[in-house]
Structure formats: structure tokens, C-alpha cells
């Protein structure tokens, strides 16, 4: 049975809260209408442009844990219409996400585009893989030119995704985005300066009396 993101997220206690606050009918309609269960062209392009995302897992004691993952744009790979792959770069060696996934493979990913005020959220089944046992996968997950030690791979199998409301997303630019905007402005300024220089060199004939 195909389920939407809201179908999965709406537990009995969530439904009770919606009933109490008179939003149950609206959310049920949204769940029926907004069913995304694979990565289309729009989703793939959005994921390929990201240089960071957040992953949430739950510990055996019931506590949620959210981890930031970052790297060059495209470090989170679309491997298929329902599959993502990630090279796990060496970090602080706490292994909280890795340990949580050993107990439960359920995870949530949250991807942000602050510049365009867009966000995508995913429910996935996650598993760690030893890339030494799969050289082809290791090659697909690699990010050429990025100097980081890879400890393992993660595979995320999509259960459902949704695009969140853009309301209240404050616009922010990364350094590469700022550099791109400034470069465009500099090109425009240079073109205007060249135009002004050319115009100053043009002799304008006097108007003939009519």
C-alpha cells in the first residue's frame, strides 16, 4: 500500500491533536493528495544541489538524535528512483547515528535550500554498508577532490517524501552563493562602465533648428 509522508507521520496522538485544533480534515485531504514515493527529476536536482542535510534517528531509550551532514554539493547521491547513497566521512567518532540505526533502520532526512526558501523531508529505511566489500558502490559514492576519509557508506531506501511550506524560511546564502551573486554584479558593473566609456567618446552633433 502506498502511503504519503503525512500518513506515516500522523500517529493516533497526532490525529488527536489535529482533531482538538480543528485541522484533521485539512491534513487528511493533504495526505491523500500529496503522495510522493520516488525521486523524480525535480527531487533529484534538488538533492544534487545540496551541500548539507540533517538526519534524525531514535535511540533504544526513545530519545531522538539529529545529526548534521555536510560536504560538497552532490555528496548525497541519488542512486535510483527510491534510493540514496552517502559516503560516511570520518568525524568525531561518537557513532550515535550508526548505533541508532543498528537498533532501528527508521530515519528521517531534512534538506534545506535557504536561498530559494524550499525544504524537502524524507522518511527512509537506512543501513550502513562496508564499501570495501563493494568497490562499485564506493566509486558511485565518492566525491572527487574532497579530502575526507570515508569510513563506510549509508544507503537510504525511500518510504515517503514531502515538500514543506516555505513560510518562515529566512533567506540565507552560502559563501559560494554569495560569490556567484557578487560575480554577476561585477560583470554588470564592468559592462556599464564600458558602455559609459564608449558613450563619452561619442561626439553628439548639434540639433538642427526646426
Task: Give me the CATH number covering residue 50.
Answer: 2.30.110.10
The string over 110-135, giving b where at least 16 C-beta atoms fall within 10 Å of a residue's C-beta and e elsewhere, is ebbbeeebebbbbbbebebbebeeee
Whether residue 27 is found in the same domain as residue 41 = no
Over range 152-181, report the average pLDDT. 91
Q: How far apart are CA 67 and CA 154, in angstroms?
A: 14
CA distance 96 to 103: 11
Tens-place pLDDT, residues 4-43: 899 999 999 999 999 999 988 888 887 777 788 899 999 9
Q: Is residue 138 part of a domain?
A: yes
Asked if 86 and 55 sit in the same domain, the reply is yes
Task: Decide if 139 is inside a domain.
Answer: yes
- Asked if residue 175 is part of any domain, the answer here is no
Is the pLDDT reported for residue 205 higher than 80? no
Q: Answer yes or no: do 45 and 149 share one domain.
A: yes
The residue length of the chain stands at 210
Distance CA 114, CA 74 (A): 16
Domain count, the chain: 2
Residue 152 has pLDDT above 90, yes or no: yes
Same domain, 18 and 59: no
Residue ranges making up the domain that contains 25: 1-35
| Residue 73 backbone class (left: φ over 0; alpha: ψ -120 to 50; beta: rest) | beta
Residue 74 has pLDDT above 70, yes or no: yes
Say yes or no: 63 and 144 in one domain. yes
Would residue 195 count as lying in a domain? no
- For residue 208, pLDDT beyond 70: no
Q: What is the pLDDT of residues 78-100, one digit of tens each?
A: 999 999 999 999 988 899 999 99
Distance CA 49, CA 40 (A): 14
Those residues with Cβ within 8 angstroms of residue 175's Cβ, 6 or more apart along the chain or in another chain: none
Amino acid at each position: 500500500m502506498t502511503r504519503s509522508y503525512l500518513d506515516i507521520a500522523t500517529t493516533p496522538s497526532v490525529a488527536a491533536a489535529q482533531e482538538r485544533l480543528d485541522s484533521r480534515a485539512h491534513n487528511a485531504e493533504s495526505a491523500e493528495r500529496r503522495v510522493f514515493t520516488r525521486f523524480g527529476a525535480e527531487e533529484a536536482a534538488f538533492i544534487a544541489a545540496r551541500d548539507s542535510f540533517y538526519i534524525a534517528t531514535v535511540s533504544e531509550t526513545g530519545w531522538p538524535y539529529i545529526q548534521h551532514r555536510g560536504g560538497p554539493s552532490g555528496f548525497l547521491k541519488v542512486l535510483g528512483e527510491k534510493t540514496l547513497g552517502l559516503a560516511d566521512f570520518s568525524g568525531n567518532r561518537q557513532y550515535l547515528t550508526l548505533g541508532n540505526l543498528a537498533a532501528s533502520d527508521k530515519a528521517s532526512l531534512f534538506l534545506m535550500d535557504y536561498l530559494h526558501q524550499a525544504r524537502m523531508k524524507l522518511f527512509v529505511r537506512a543501513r550502513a554498508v562496508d564499501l570495501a566489500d563493494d568497490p562499485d558502490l564506493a566509486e558511485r559514492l565518492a566525491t572527487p577532490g574532497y579530502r575526507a576519509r570515508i569510513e563506510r557508506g549509508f544507503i537510504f531506501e525511500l518510504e515517503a517524501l514531502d515538500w514543506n511550506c516555505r513560510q518562515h524560511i529566512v533567506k540565507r546564502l552560502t559563501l559560494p552563493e554569495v560569490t556567484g551573486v557578487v560575480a554577476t554584479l561585477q560583470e554588470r558593473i564592468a559592462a556599464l562602465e564600458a558602455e559609459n566609456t564608449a558613450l563619452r567618446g561619442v561626439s553628439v552633433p548639434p540639433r538642427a533648428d526646426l
